[in-house]
Amino acid sequence: MSSTDKNFPDERMNHGMRGVTILGSTGSIGVNTLDVLARHPGRYRVLALTANTHVDRLFEQCRQFSPQKAVMLDPRAAAQLKEKIHKAGLAVEVLAGGEGLNTVATHPRAHIVVAAIVGAAGLLPTLAAVRAGKRVLLANKEPLVMSGRVFIEEARVSGAELLPVDSEHNAIFQCMPAGYRTGATPAGVRRIFLTCSGGPFRTVPPEALASVTPEQACAHPNWVMGRKISVDSATLMNKGLELIEACWLFGVTPDQVEIVIHPQSVIHSLVEYADGSVLAQLGNPDMRTPIAHALAWPERIESGVKSLNLFEIARLDFESPDLDRFPCLRLAYAAARAGGTMPAILNAANEVAVQAFLDQRIGFTDISRVIEHTLSSLPASQDAELGAVLSDDARARETAGRFIAGRESRVVQGVT
């Protein structure tokens, strides 16, 4: 800390207290993280909070948690926040843009960086935190899907701790041998079972899927989440992204990962060992458990999550996924096996398609069509360096966007 860093004097931070930056604090993961942190005021200190455009919520969070810095991606929103902070007499420095995100992701006082931005937008600040050797709590799965190799290699070089917050990956991490570090291939692991609730359309007749609305797609049976991941959970692309995420985090091949539909969302995933043992992690479906686990690891802290009542749950069901009903899962397996920049192309096409669905420009079943078209139109590069990933991400967004615009004009002309 420099002597001019007057908003964050030493006396506000006890010895041993951990400074936390939350990238994307106004979202679902961000709010859950703050809920856990508020239970441990003597252990964690909120250093920085960030958001895209949600001025009012970020202002309320600044009032409650008095961070040293607040960042808004959008410069106009940053100016509004600055004004509100000034009027309220709060000692919070407001920054803007990608540069502001990088500043708080790499700040010397940030021991822990929570990656909770949605989509590819989180890639650069999260990577900056990894390069700066932080403990990085990874909720934001898309950057890992796009450039897992870069994340794992950079973490190895910098000594950053990559701890998964995605509930399945956090469960897998908890079932790994003691002393396990993400990115390494664990000895004796035969298979990983990635559990999946099946989403809101698990039992809806396939012919009804074409006309489901964004509101129906976002009404997840077990989890309350942001809109993008909610749609991904409805198409099962979320599980496809998680398959790729698991391959990077745990050093396994796509064929070692089995996806299991488990509608109760009580078992968060399982690991099978060479001797036939299968270890699982169970708990109520509440993101505060993986967040608290990764914050305090290897210690355990209170999260506010209520105890699991096995008698109320009574039974646990398992089935295999229907790839005809959910083609996104098939596409994700294909991209995972192809490797290189193919997962980045898959992710970019999906982000564009999901946004178009949320904007009611395409139907639910068009999402997989947009992705399939993009995957088959673009040759992937086997070079998975950051430059190649970012340029294929851009090409995929353009291709997906053009395909959507083409469909819209055909609909307007009455061709389809």
Q: Which of 28, 68, 102, 147 binds ligand NAD (CB under 6 A)?
A: 28
Please say whether the dihedral angle defined by the alpha carbons of residues 233, 236, 238 and 243, taken in this order, is positive or negative. Answer: positive
Q: Which of 61, 102, 106, 140 binds ligand NAD (CB under 6 A)?
A: 140
State the residues that interact with Mg ion by CB under 5 A: 166-168
Collapsed DSSP state (helix, strand, coil) of residue 75: helix
HEC states along 391-405? HHHHHHHHHHHHHHH
Minimum Å distance from CB 309 to ligand NAD?
21
Are 220 and 230 in contact by the 8 Å Cβ rule? The answer is yes
Binding mask 65-104 for ligand NAD (x = CB under 6 A): --------x-------------------------------
Minimum Å distance from CB 49 to ligand NAD?
9
Q: Which of 39, 43, 52, 260 binds ligand NAD (CB under 6 A)?
A: 52
Minimum Å distance from CB 140 to ligand NAD?
4
Residues 6 or more apart from 348 whose CB is under 8 A from it?
120, 146, 374, 392, 393, 394, 396, 397, 400
Residues 6 or more apart from 394 whose CB is under 8 A from it?
348
Are 160 and 138 in contact by the 8 Å Cβ rule? The answer is no
26 forms part of the interface with ligand NAD (CB under 6 A): yes
Minimum Å distance from CB 122 to ligand NAD?
7
Q: Which stretch binds ligand NAD (CB under 6 A): 10-18, 223-231, 351-359, 396-404?
A: 223-231
Helix (H) or strand (E) holding 97: helix 97-105
Which residue in the shown chain puts its C-beta closest to ligand NAD?
27
How far is it, in rounded angstroms, from Cα 324 to Cα 326?
5
Q: How far is CA 97 from CA 18, 79, 83, 102, 125, in A?
A: 25, 11, 17, 9, 11
Q: Could you tell me which of 369, 374, 372, 380 has the C-alpha nearest to residue 400?
A: 374
Q: Which of 139, 172, 234, 236 binds ligand NAD (CB under 6 A)?
A: 139
30 forms part of the interface with ligand NAD (CB under 6 A): yes
**Number of residues binding to ligand NAD, judged by CB under 6 A:** 25
- Interface residue list for ligand NAD (CB under 6 A): 24-30, 51-52, 54, 73, 116-118, 121, 139-142, 166, 223, 225-226, 229, 287
